Structure 1
Amino acid sequence: MIVCYAHGGGLGHLTRIRAYLHTRAVRGPVTILTGSPFAADPRVTGGHPVRSAPAGLGRDGLTRWIASALAELAPAELVVDAFPAGLTGELSARAVPPGVRVVHLARLLRWDAYRPLLPAEPLGFDETWLVEPVAAEHEAYLRSVAAALAPLELAEPPVAAPSPTRPGGWLVVHSGPPGETAELVAYARETAALEGVRPRLTLVSPIRPATLPDDVAHLDVYPAWPLFADAERIVTAAGFNAVRQAAPWAGRHRMMPFPRRFDDQFARAARVRGGRGRPAPVGNDGDEAVKT
């Protein structure tokens, strides 16, 4: 049994866990612990069993919930996504039973903002995989708590049922919140005007925002990246998965970074625009792979 801890309110943690399980060719039972509202969507979880954290738990409550789940599930391995101490500092050495192998997937964080959450008894990692370059202080911390640290290029799992719809035109891809989606649609319009074109716009998102203009089509497709090959432009935020998945079509990709409590979308966008850092592959069957 492998337990994956992917706590967070967005779609990105679950998408990254699925890519990790595929990249590492993980076999056998997997259970995902999460607080994401997208965990109810089998397209996102890939059919793996999910345990959702009760709403409203603080740090101590999450620590107890994790410890209880791990004691019951008795995993051989725990995979911790993104946050080495959890989203609120709930992960420490005391939360994980002895003998459980612990793996960490490390991505870019605003380390000055996150560092105060580190516990007095930090969780140690048997392996830490850098799925993108991180800040120097962040990497130094990881080296202090990990027995091994190495880069890992993630590849997406194959798509079982490709979408029959191939919208082409310009794609705006975002899972929310609605205010950010509206900003991305406006950014796509402004960018098109600067390029002197009037493209067909399609929003790919789990929910059609009430304020979406009538002339913008909406698709609820997951994953969205198989649509990128036919798109004239791909407009996204600068989250890890969006940037990684769009990299094979970097010349068509337009990013608008948004502020996050811990994710540094601005640094990621600057790195990609400056040509620094190697993105990870998207597909596993020769999909223009190379390149969050």
Structure 2
Amino acid sequence: MIACYAAGGGLGHLTRVRAFLHAMRPGRDAVILTSSPHAGDPRVVGPHRTVKVPPGASYLTALAELAPTELIVDAFPGGLYGELTPSALPASIRTTTHLARLLQWTRYRAVATRPLPRYDQTWTVEPLTGEHHADLAAVSTAMAPLDLVDPRPADVPALDGDAWLIVHSGPAAEVAELIAYAEETAAAEGLPPSSRRLVLVAPPGIEDPRVRRLDVYPAWPLFARASRIITAAGCNAVRQAAPWRDRHRMIPFPRLFDDQFTRAARARR
């Protein structure tokens, strides 16, 4: 059985783990450990079981109870709290896999100060910074880039071709900033308000009178028809919008460890 360490309260860790399981471990029994409120949405986690770990709690107890044979760790090689170390992992684990994305590495290592676990395979889902890459290479038997493949949903809602699609899972203040950015961009391009069809893809509870909201997951199948795609600079949003980079606009937001500003700068280049 596979245990997937997907610590964090957002949607990104679950999206990445689901894509990896879909492409690289099809049909395997997997349990996702997470504190994300999206863990109860079958559109997000698919057929996989989830174990909710309270925010701030160690994941080691849940791992020990599951006794998995393979551990997949997303984003944080030493765990979100630095709790994953070579001696802390359950003895049942025979294979270790890490999915690496950009981190503010110096800030992260100030929290995860202890030795990192050994990984049989580290997959980089985007280019890392030099020190981050070097430190992972030192604890990985194999290390290579990986283009994730997201499962496509059976039904994709219709979208007008002139729609400006705004995609974000929150918080609400950031969604409001993205909507304002979309309005400012449309005005700069000379589009009158009557012709701006702003469509927001966001979870329930995030509403704004300036837009029509769709509760859709995943959002990326809508990208091909959108006139503009406006997102934060999260790892999944940037990689999923890459085929339509000419119409993609993004705002990087500050995060504790994710490096959205470096990612946005690279995408713009």
Q: Does 1:90 align with 2:70?
A: no
TM-score, with length taken from structure 2: 0.94
Shift of 1:179: 0.3
Alpha-carbon distance between aligned partners in 2 of 1:249 and 1:173, rounded to the nearest angstrom: 14
Match of 2:32?
A: 32
For residues 94-133 of structure 1, what are the alpha-carbon distances to aligned partners after superposition, in whole Å with 9 as ceiling and x for unaligned? 3212351110000011112111123433211111001110
Match of 2:104?
A: 110
Q: Which amino acid aligns with 1:257?
A: P
Match of 1:207?
A: 204
Shift of 1:151: 0.7
For residues 177-204 of structure 1, what are the alpha-carbon distances to aligned partners after superposition, in whole Å with 9 as ceiling and x for unaligned? 0000000000000001111114210111
**Could you list the runs of 5+ residues in structure 2 that have no partner in the other structure?**
none
Shift of 1:208: 4.5
Q: Does 1:54 align with 2:48?
A: no
Give matches, 1:3-82, under 5 Å.
Answer: 3-57=3-57, 62=58, 66-82=59-75
Q: Which amino acid aligns with 2:202?
A: S
Identity of matched residues, %: 58
Alpha-carbon distance between aligned partners in 1 of 2:54 and 2:201, rounded to the nearest angstrom: 29
Output the aligned Cα RMSD. 1.4
**Could you list the runs of 5+ residues in structure 1 that have no partner in the other structure?**
275-292
Alpha-carbon distance between aligned partners in 1 of 2:81 and 2:135, rounded to the nearest angstrom: 17
Match of 1:259?
A: 254
Q: Does 1:244 align with 2:239?
A: yes
Shift of 1:25: 4.0
Which residue of 208, 212, 216 corresponds with 2:211? 216
Q: Does 1:120 align with 2:117?
A: no
Aligned residues: 264
Shift of 1:176: 0.2
CA contact (8 A) 1:208 1:218 kept: no
Match of 1:141?
A: 135
Alpha-carbon distance between aligned partners in 2 of 1:259 and 1:121, rounded to the nearest angstrom: 27
Q: Which amino acid aligns with 2:4?
A: C
Q: Does 1:228 align with 2:223?
A: yes
The structure with more strand, counted as a fraction of residues: 2
Shift of 1:167: 4.0
TM-score, with length taken from structure 1: 0.87
Shift of 1:56: 4.5
Alpha-carbon distance between aligned partners in 1 of 2:88 and 2:80, rounded to the nearest angstrom: 14
Question: After the TM superposition, which of the residue ranges 171-180 and 91-100 deviates more from structure 2?
Answer: 91-100
For residues 25-53 of structure 1, what are the alpha-carbon distances to aligned partners after superposition, in whole Å with 9 as ceiling and x for unaligned? 43221100001111011110013110010
